[in-house]
A and B are shown apart, each in its own frame.
Chain A
Amino acid sequence: MPTKFSSLPVSRFFASDPRHYQIAVLAALLVYGVGWLGFDTAGREITLLLATALITQFLCGKFFSVSAFDPRSALISGLSLCLLLRTNSTFLLILTAVITIASKFVLKWNHKHIFNPTNFGIVAMLALSGEVWVSPAQWGSKLYFGFLMACLGGMVVHRALRSDVSYAFIFSYAAILFGRAYWLGDPLAIPLKQLQSGALLLFTFFMISDPKTTPDSRAGRILFALLVAGGAAYVQFVLYRTNGLLWSLALCSLLTPLVDYLLPGTKYQWTSPTNGNKGELHEKDRLVLGPVPRPVGSSGFGL
């Protein structure tokens, strides 16, 4: 039965590159958010963000002499910005998309992106302008939606073989929340409510999982996940500031080169055992994305 399904053209398309799943899921979430949850973003913002991301990707590709234009990574970053970024300013909207994409080409260490592009773009604008914001509660906390996102996200992550960082993060973050509730004497309903957050799941399964920016070794990734979880909790519960997840990931990303140095591993490439024998589409993707060391123009997996 699985063989039958995997032989379908659609299935082969998704299997050929984990980013295809991601684009589909992010687009579906955006439709859900705009159509059903009343997101404060409209066709105009979405068009601008996606167009700017793609154009920047194209221009940076030319400037940094990357062989072929691949819209997929830029599309992922653009869609992620649509889900997260809010601002009244058209200029800042465009600027954020430019910074997000350009960061992939500029901010590198040892041929590896330092920051998850979307994370960097948003955090940079939060820090610099004060005119953008993120609405972490926009997804609500309906349980079924959380499950849905976890399943969808988990599926996508699994294909990129970086699920270890997601699971390490969510378990350590949950442990912090439950531990804190225990220490405070709070009812279980509080940490459970905090975990039932669409934004948290989106972060866990789509942003921190970015194989292009997480440490190369499994031990390194687990350490990284623990650091991000601890940092996020620190921002939220000690500093009492919002967007703890985003700030923590951005700061911890600066430590990734050190973690890679201490706990070396094999660098990620867009080849995974699960789709290693899926035929011509896969080969084509490798060509587009380039061999190891990591391709200059791709965003990596993740928001």
Chain B
Amino acid sequence: MALSLGLLVQADSAYSFCGFYVAKADTKIFNKASQVVLARQDDKTVITMANDFKGDPKEFAVVIPVPTLIERGQINVGDKNMIDHLDAYTSPRLVEYFDGSPCQLALMERRMSRDAALPASKSLLARAEALGVTVQAQYTVGEYDIVILSAKQGQGLETWLKESGYRLPRGTSEVLGSYIKQKMHFFVAKVNLKEQSKLGFNYLRPIQVAYESPKFMLPLRLGTLNADGYQELFIYTLTQKGRVEPTNYRSVKLPTGMDLPIYIKTRFKDFYRDMFDQQVKQADMRAVFTEYAWDMNWCDPCAAEPLAYEELRGLGVFWLSHEVGSAFPGPGRRPVPPPTSGARDVFVTRLHVRYDAQHFPEDLVLQETADRNNFQARYVLRHPWKGEEASCPASEDYRREVIRRQENEARQLADLTGWKLADIRAQMNLGRDTADTQGKWWQKLWSR
């Protein structure tokens, strides 16, 4: 509290969010989730793929289709912390306001955010030999052994992968064959245990690939083959011009700006998960959700600070030059104001999709638009004033207003999450009947 008051005094902007970062939720909200960062300008793309593979590292292998043949220098091992930071920066956020005394209007605000880092799960297994398959190159990058492949047909590639000890789900050869005809190439990555123990990482770091191709897409199809049920994918795009959207699936913005009951503060991650479930249901699981679209220079409120120059470069934003970007000012999660100069040419879009083969039969194709309108999933908590009742004539009206407001918040929450209204009202300690607390219609008729 002292911190927020201190900041309030310092804050000179009219929109003085004086909040501090209150809570960070667990990252494991959604199961079977992957994270992909796409930095793209013109046809140059850097893709960063994170995974949260929990098993034995020697069991880990992944087959990744890429639009072009890639060389050694085009593959890199990235830093997971950068993705986590990007995830925190773009995650849905909760803002807290405190009602002032109705008699003497004063406002204090706080905000907090939650984090939705959801790492990847992709699996397929590994070893090497040939069958109409060309091993273009083989090398070790970081803790990964990488094999770059070209193939003439899917069946051959599948056989080769199987002979190499990879376990492949049914239908793999069809999808691989389709990709081969679409002139895609592949690489297989598996963990080099020696390198891993030398490096000392106890988790698998994200794999990065840089390539130049007009194809702005994400291959979802391989991922749906070995999945039982749906999968969750978070796509963070870093572009120069503006928001990124799918061109072959409808995109829907998450509901935003709603007032929610105070108790959501401790249950924000449940809220986010269940609200997302509801949204997916309403869209018949046939939509990609936009959760954040913002100029990377600033944020308001900030769930985390904007990414620093080095982080953006690390995630593949190759068009940034040193002279332009400077390190971000401001500790804590204060809003960073829009830049006046030295702006960084990066626009971030966060897309969230829940997919399976039935609802997302084809790969996701994206386009960069010129839309620079900022969007965030932001929810509001309004704390009622806790002062003496009837300390002034306005307080009675205020009390009624608060009850009405809380009733609306309860309904809103029920609508958004599908939670039972009765449970919500119980959690909020709302009286059974709010009708009489709202007063009779004539009470205000001749009120002084």
Contacts and interface: CB of A to CB of B under 8 A. Distances in A.
Interface of A: 37-38, 40, 86-88, 130-133, 135-142, 183-187, 189-190, 193-194, 197, 239-242
A138 B250 contact: yes
Nearest to A92: B370
Interface stretch (B186-194, B301-309, B361-369): B361-369
Nearest to A188: B361
17 contacts: A40-B371, A40-B373, A88-B373, A131-B370, A132-B370, A133-B367, A133-B369, A140-B286, A141-B250, A142-B284, A183-B181, A184-B177, A184-B182, A185-B178, A193-B248, A194-B248, A241-B214
Contact of B286 (A141, A185, A239): A141
B252 A38 contact: yes
B247 A137 contact: yes
B361 A133 contact: no
Interface in B335-391: 357-358, 361-362, 365, 367, 369-373
Contact of B174 (A131, A138, A185, A240): A185
B249 interface: yes
Contacts of B213: 240
Contacts of A87: 370
A184 B178 contact: yes
B147 interface: no
A199 B248 CA distance: 10
Contact of A137 (B182, B246, B361): B246
Contacts of A139: 250
Contacts of A189: 357-358, 361-362
Nearest to B360: A193
Contact of B215 (A136, A190, A240): A240
B248 A137 contact: yes
Given A193-B361, A193-B362, A240 B214 contact: yes
Given A142-B286, A184-B181, A190 B371 contact: no
B154 interface: yes
A86 B243 CA distance: 12
**Which residue among B214, B216, B284, B371 has the maximum number of chain A CB atoms within 10 Å of its CB?**
B371
Give 8 nearest A-B pairs by CB, closest first: A189-B361, A140-B250, A240-B214, A133-B369, A184-B178, A131-B370, A190-B362, A242-B367
Given A137-B247, A142-B286, A185 B154 contact: yes
B344 to A, nearest CB: 19
Interface string B143-179: 0000000000010000000000000000000100110
Contacts of A183: 181
Interface of B: 154, 174, 177-178, 181-182, 213-217, 241-242, 245-253, 283-284, 286-287, 357-358, 361-362, 365, 367, 369-373
Nearest to A240: B214
Nearest to A186: B178
Contacts of A190: 361-362
Contacts of B177: 184-185
Given A141-B250, A184-B182, 19 more contacts: A38-B253, A86-B369, A88-B242, A88-B372, A130-B241, A131-B370, A133-B370, A135-B251, A137-B249, A141-B286, A142-B286, A183-B181, A184-B177, A184-B178, A186-B178, A186-B362, A189-B358, A193-B248, A194-B248
Given A87-B370, A184-B182, A185-B174, A136 B361 contact: no
Nearest to B216: A240
A194 B245 contact: no
A40 B375 CA distance: 12
Given A142-B284, A186-B178, A242 B370 contact: no
A88 B252 contact: no
Contacts of B174: 185-187
Contacts of A194: 248, 362
Contacts of A137: 245-251
Contacts of A142: 284, 286
B225 to A, nearest CB: 12
A37 B362 CA distance: 22
A231 to B, nearest CB: 17
A239 B373 CA distance: 29
A41 B215 CA distance: 28
Contacts of A239: 214
Nearest to B363: A190
Contact of A88 (B154, B215, B371): B371
B413 to A, nearest CB: 21
A190 B224 CA distance: 14
A133 B244 CA distance: 11
A185 B373 CA distance: 41
Contacts of A193: 248, 361-362
A251 B357 CA distance: 36
A187 B215 contact: no
Contacts of A133: 367, 369-371
B372 A242 contact: no
B181 to A, nearest CB: 5
A88 B365 CA distance: 23
Nearest to A181: B178
Nearest to A130: B370
Given A141-B286, A185-B154, A135 B361 contact: no
B320 to A, nearest CB: 20
A183 B177 CA distance: 10
A25 B11 CA distance: 53
